[in-house]
Amino acid sequence: MKAIFLCVLWLTTFQVWGEVFPPDDVSAIDKPNDNGSAIILLWKKMDYETAKIFYVTYIATSPSGPFLVQPIQSSIINFKTDLPQSFGFAEDNKNWHALEITDYLLAGGEKKDMIEQNKTYYLRIGVKEGKDGNVVMHPKTFGVTPHGNYFAFNKLNNFLLFIFLTVVIIVFINLAKKNPNLFVRRIAGLEAMDDALGRATEMGRPVLFVHGLKYMHEVPTIAAVNILGRIAKKVAEFDTGLKVANWDPVIQQVSRETVKESYIEAGRPDAYKEENIYFASSEQFSYAAAVEGLMVREKPAANFYFGYFYAESLLLSETGNAAGSIQIAGTDAFTQIPFFITTCDYTLIGEELYAASAYLSREPKLLGSLKGQDLGKLMIIIVLVLGTIFTTFGWEGFSKIFWPM
Amino acid sequence: MKKNLPLTIAFIMGWLGILLDYIPHKVSEVLMTSITKGLMVTIAIVAFLGLYSLLNMHWIKIKRKNAGWGYSLLVFAGFFFMLIFGLYNQGDLFWKAQVEQGMVEWIYTYIFTPCQETMFSILAFFIASAAYRTFRAKSMEAGILLVAAVLVMFGVVPISGKIWSGFPEIAQWLLEYPNMAVKRAIFFGIALGVVSMSLRIIFGIERSYMGGEG
């Protein structure tokens, strides 16, 4: 008791005199869940911290120095709470400073060096009052060696959610094999696809397919190519012309192969015309101009827009509308959905783009995956409702389980 | 082999792509960088095929005198002008970096960019005509859309706040709550759709990109 009293008296006395003392509980750690390119200096928040208190850190690659001075840090910044991906959401985080170091100033203060993995760094910390005050150093040096991690534990919630969804979808795919009569709600846009192709056949005009402005390795384009495969097969069966205007040569080559295989599958390899799947332009508005030109000249009977679109969506669909084509669009580009709804006869919104291929095939296995997706959606709804209730009553812990980090 | 090889590649690369996202180690980064570089090399090679396709298509149009074949001549003219000026490079030739303010830059700035801007500006007229069609209050839903749209459009212009301070607040409320709620609902659906479709492709259940059934 006496010791505590003396200690408090000592601290208070120093504060009254305007002196500062170094922080307690200092440590240096390798930043968790990273590639080994960062270290973190931790120290406990001091009771006397104000906006006038500054911390100075020093770094060296040898325990004997030279220690290189780093930019001073205000005591009101750099807390564990700023790094939830490393320290989570513990209540005590606000009482700890955490300075993440990814690079450091070299002698002279102009050039910087990056923190390297498997190399030991030595850190020191001091404190001063005011920017021009005298630095009071912590007596110890703290060594740390950063290492790369093989699993990002901060993404564990995401990983478990992914595993859960994967299992659910696979289970439903297997269930669909046993019970093929699964109910999937009607999607008007996809039901109308046959009508649109039939119209094109009757009118003797081509069908135009556009797959947005994303690259081949991006999911909306993969979904679009899947749909193209289905459409191409029907086009081949109906003996109608198919034009595919591409903005990217890779997509063009993939589309050619997809359409060619579909024509072979339909037993009409002779009807396949390679030049109809062509590269128009890699520039957004040049591409739009090329496709609009095609619409005005050849007046396709049906236009299909599937994929991710930007400002060209309205240019294309409004021109198609003026040309009198039946238009079916599907996009997950939130900002372009209103434009397609306005100008197209049918629009697939968001996830419907990804369900289209499965829906068109009527394959039980593919429809099963849609059912699994629905269960995932139900789970999200339950989590949202519970999260809203718990947060309303002041317990944020539940929503933080699902926090993206 | 023709079917199994692409399916195997899709399976391996699909799982690799997923797992690398959870492995922060440098090894994972190096592997990802290598894959990206491979992708870039593929794109660079395929770019020539794209160019061939473009020129071939326009050549066929000119040869057959298809509708609008004159525009195809312009494609050739544009291509060769840019190629010649690019190679000539104001006398420095093509093995040196492009000269600033040379002919290539001039054509880009004074011909290509205005053409692009013209196309973009047409969007304003298209928005007007599309909005006119949409905002006809023929049904209850169209009526609600019309009222909401008018409130949002009016609420974001400065004069609305001067007439009544509630207009900007209503516009902001519409954007932040009903609009945001719908937006997030769509995003949830998209995320699940992406997971589901990716799994179908990774496990070889979805094969329509190969032109077949399944």
**Alpha-carbon distances, residue B32 vs A34, B19, B36 (angstroms):** 15, 11, 6
Residue A110 burial by CB count (10 A; 0-12/13-18/19+): exposed, middle or buried? exposed
d(CA A404, nearest CA chain B) in Å: 13
Q: What is the pLDDT of residues A234-289, one digit of tens each?
A: 999 998 999 999 999 999 999 999 999 999 999 999 999 998 999 999 999 999 99
Q: Are residues A341 and A257 in the same domain?
A: yes
Interface with A, mutate which of B33, B209, B210, B213 (most A CBs under 10 A): B209
pLDDT of residue B212: 55
What does the block give as tokens for B128?
């007007």
Residues in A touching B196 (Cβ below 8 Å)? 165, 169, 354-355, 369-370, 372-373, 376
Task: Give yes or no for a contact between B24 and A149, defined as CB atoms under 8 angstroms apart.
Answer: yes
Is 60 exceeded by the pLDDT of residue B124? yes
Q: Please check whether residue A123 lies inside any domain of the structure.
A: yes
Which tokens go with A47? 């009771």
State the count of interchain CB pairs (< 8 A) between A and B.
218
Alpha carbons B30 and B52: distance in angstroms, whole number: 34
Name the pLDDT band for B211 (thresholds 50, 70, 90): low
Q: pLDDT digits over A122-153, tens only?
A: 999 888 888 778 888 888 899 999 999 999 99
Chain A: residue whose CA lies nearest to B30: A35
Res A284: pLDDT: 93
A2 pLDDT band, cuts 50/70/90, is: low
Q: End of a domain among A100, A134, A150?
A: A150
Report the range of poorest mean pLDDT among A71-85, A149-163, A312-326: A71-85
With pLDDT > 90 as the criterion, what percentage of chain B qualifies?
Answer: 50
Query: How far is Cα A354 from Cα A331, in angstroms, rounded to an integer?
Result: 9
Rama region for A126: left / alpha / beta (φ>0; ψ in -120 to 50; rest):
beta
Domain of A28, CATH number, reads: 2.60.40.10
Which tens digit of pLDDT belongs to each residue from B185-207?
999 999 999 988 898 889 888 88
Residue A6 lies in a domain: no
Q: Which of A159, A282, A332 sits opposite B22 (nearest CB)?
A: A159
Domain count for chain B: 3
Structure confidence at residue B213 as a pLDDT band (50, 70, 90): low
Structural domain contains residue B214:
no
Which residue in chain B has the smallest CA separation from A225? B209
Q: How far apart are CA B176 and CA B195, in angstroms?
A: 27
Please list every residue in chain B whose beta carbon sits closer than 8 Å to the beta carbon of residue A151: 22-24
Shared domain for B171 and B182, answered yes or no, is: yes
B56-62: long-range contacts (C-beta < 8 A, 24 or more apart)? B56/A275, B57/A275, B57/A278, B57/A279, B60/A275
Residues B125 and B92 in one domain: yes
Q: What is the pLDDT of residues A11-25, one digit of tens each?
A: 444 444 457 788 888
Helices (H), chain B: 4-20, 26-64, 69-88, 103-107, 113-134, 140-155, 158-163, 166-174, 180-202
* Domain housing B189: 135-202
Q: Per the CB < 8 Å rule, is B42 touching A155?
A: no
Q: What is the CATH number of the domain that holds A285?
A: 3.40.50
Domain annotation covers residue A370 = no
| Whether residue A341 sits in one domain with residue A207 | yes
Residue A141: which domain range? 20-150
Is A59 in the same domain as A146?
Answer: yes
Q: Amino acid identity, residue B211?
A: G
Residue A373 lies in a domain: no
**What pLDDT shows up at residue A9?**
43
A195 and A316 in a common domain: yes
Option in B29, B199, B211 nearest A262 (CB): B211
Higher pLDDT, A369 or B211: A369
Separation between Cα atoms, residue A307 and residue A326, nearest integer Å: 18
CB contact under 8 A, A376 and B195: yes
In a domain, B26, yes or no: yes
Q: Do A166 and B210 lie within an 8 Å CB cutoff? A: no
Other C-beta atoms closer than 10 Å to the C-beta of A212 total: 27
- What six digits make up the tokens of B167? 């207009």
